[in-house]
Structures are given as C-alpha cells and as structure tokens.
Amino acid sequence: MLGFRAALVTVFVCAGLSGPVAAQTYPTKPIKLIVPFGAGGPVDVMARLVAQRLSVSVGAIVVENRPGQGGTLGARAVAAADPDGYTLMMATSTTMGVSANLYKNLDFDPVKSFAPIALISSVPVVLVVRPTLPIKTTEELIEYAKANPGKLNFGFPTGTLPHLTGELFRLRTGIDFAFIPYKAANNVVSDLVAGQIDFTFEPASVLIGHIEDGKTRPLGVTSLHRLTQMPNVPTLDESGVKNFVSISWSGVVAPAGTPSAVIDKLNAAINAELKSGDMLATLLRLGAEVKAGTPADFAAFIAGEAPKWADVIKSSGMKLE
C-alpha cells in the first residue's frame, strides 16, 4: 500500500513539473513545421526563413509542405497532432480567417483547435498584370474590364487570400472577369510571367523579384500606404478603389493543449529573431512588416480574422466543399 501511495505521489509531482521540465529539455528531437501550401509560395518562403533561424537558436526544424483545399488539409493534420511541441504550423490569413467561412463542415476550429505561438509578419497583396498587357494603371484595368466584360482572366490559388482579394476587387469595382483556379501560388505566378493569364493578386514577398526583373507589372498595393520597396506603385485606395485593404500575414501555431512553457519558449525565440538586424533586413526586402508580440496578442488577432472576410464570402456566394 505504501509503495502504491509513493508511486502515486511521484506521478503527481512529475505531472506538476512536466511543463517547466519539458521547456528546459525541449526539444529533444527535430520539430516539424507544417506549411499548408505548396513549395515556393509566400507561406513556404516565410516558413523556411523562420525554420532556418530557429534551427540555430532552438533546435532542428524540418519544413513539410501539405497543400490542398485552401490550406485546410495541412491545418487539419496539425489540429489532430499530439500537443507536444513537435508539430507546428505556419498559420496564415487564409487558414485562420478565410477557411472558416469558405469551407463547409471543417473538423477543426481556427480559434479553438490551435495554440497561438507568435505572429511573425504582415505583407500587403499586390495587383499585377502580365507585362504584355497594354494596361499601366488600376484605373485602366477597370476601364478595360468594363468595356470588355469577361475578357480578362484572373488566376488564383483556390480558397486562399488572393482568391478572396479578387472577389473583393470584383465586388468593389463592379467589373466582370474570368476566374482561373490553380492549386498553388507559384503556378499562378509562373503562368502570369508566361502570359497565360492576365492578372492576379499575390503577396509582395513572392512578387518583388519578378517585378524588379520586369516580368510582371504592378498596378497597385492593397494597404493604405505605399510599400517602401515600390514607392512609385500607388495603393488601390489612391487609384479610386477606396479603403481597399487585403493583408497577408503569417505566424506559428501549435495544436491546442501544447504546454504553455513550450509555447512561451518558442515565442521568446521567435521574437528574439524578429529583433535581429539581418532578419529585419530580410523581411524588409520581402515587403514584410514585422509583427512581434505575445501568444495572447496573437490569439486576439486570430479571433478577429474570420469575421473580416465573412461579408465578402457571403456577398460573392462562394462556397467550397
């Protein structure tokens, strides 16, 4: 009997120490960072940058791409993973904001199924056209589309923020154009450069290099201020589409139930990296704005994302299975 009681006490003591002890020894094996989108896209670019930095300061981090259904396949896998700190996800405005409204019967909740760790950055979306299209401004694009309804085609990754941004643009301008769905952002950009589609919306982080090389032509940015990297490109607000805002953000989350000590350790490491000079310079080159903060800050931010796009989805009649 005494042996049983001693063992029981030991179990309770160990349970009480599991959080702090886990944080002190964590990680003891490689951490998996799930990217719910394809390789080469804006989320993948940010995830690999974060993984590279944290692999030095925290421990080995392996990036794994699990694309499909607007990021919901990867998000579902992370929501169902063991909450031990060894499976994380690169969360985005799509997975945590758009999907909750767009897809029916999701078996995860963008707020309740995840433990927010740290918001990393935000990046405005850019309206770009193929370089051979004889259109130089947003105003010209709208004018041409109104004179030629359905003639222009818009490429987008299905169920993502660029998809919703295109819908918002259509609703706000009253123009008509053809929607061309893709599985991944890198395929959209490749076909735009090749002249297979007329225009798209994508985060600045994946477009800056193509814009600088003259492979795409930027017409406007979807923030209320111009990008430092593109000072001559006006906002859509300046171009007559008033208060048009669409911001792509990224951050790291874990499955709900992950020990708070592990969450805090990862948050501190990410915030430390975001303050480093070379990291700041890299994000600036990508057109990204650093968004450091606490897990609680990030949780409050995520909670406000789904309502932001609900009206756009309802007005457009979009619904994906």
CA dist list (Å): 108 to 27, 95, 256? 26, 11, 11
- The answer to pTM > 0.75 is yes
pLDDT on residue 278: 86
Q: Is the pLDDT of residue 82 over 60?
A: yes
pLDDT on residue 13: 42
pLDDT on residue 17: 42
Q: Under CATH, which architecture does the 124-221 domain have?
A: 3-Layer(aba) Sandwich (3.40)
CATH number of this structure's domain 26-122+249-316, picked from the four choices 3.40.50.450, 3.40.190.150, 3.40.50.300, 3.30.70.270: 3.40.190.150
Q: Name residue, tokens 């814009």.
A: 211
Q: Is the pLDDT of residue 85 over 80?
A: yes
Q: State whether the Cα torsion 65-71-73-75 is positive or negative.
A: positive
Q: Which of 207, 201, 193 is nearest to 177 (CA)?
A: 201
Q: Is the pLDDT of residue 20 over 80?
A: no
pLDDT on residue 319: 64
Q: What is the pLDDT of residues 26-41, one digit of tens each?
A: 999 999 999 998 888 7
Q: For residue 17, with 0-12 CB atoms within 10 Å meaning exposed, 13-18 middle and 19 or more buried, which class applies?
A: exposed
Q: Tokens in use for 55?
A: 């692999």
Q: Measured between alpha carbons, how far is 135 from 219 in angstroms, rounded to an integer?
A: 9
Mean pLDDT, all residues of the chain: 88
Q: Find the radius of gyration of the CA atoms of the chain.
A: 22
Q: State whether the Cα torsion 244-224-304-292 is positive or negative.
A: positive
The least confident of 81-95, 104-118, 119-133 is 104-118
Segment (H or E) for 121: strand 114-129
Q: Is the pLDDT of residue 8 over 70?
A: no
Question: What residue ranges do the domains of the chain occupy?
Answer: 26-122+249-316, 124-221
User: pLDDT: is 320 or 116 the higher one?
Assistant: 116
User: pLDDT: is 51 or 279 the higher one?
Assistant: 51
Fold identical between 26-122+249-316 and 124-221? yes
pLDDT on residue 126: 96
Given a contact cutoff of 8 angstroms between Cβ atoms, the answer to whether 101 and 111 are in contact is: no
DSSP 8-class letter at 81 = S
Q: Is the pLDDT of residue 75 over 90?
A: yes
Q: Which of 317, 212, 262, 277 is nearest to 28 (CA)?
A: 262
Q: Measured between alpha carbons, how far is 114 from 252 in angstroms, rounded to an integer?
A: 10
Residue type, position 319, single letter: K
Give percent above pLDDT 90 in the chain: 61
pLDDT on residue 19: 52
Q: Is the pLDDT of residue 321 over 60?
A: no
Given a contact cutoff of 8 angstroms between Cβ atoms, the answer to whether 197 and 190 are in contact is: no
Given a contact cutoff of 8 angstroms between Cβ atoms, the answer to whether 154 and 198 are in contact is: yes
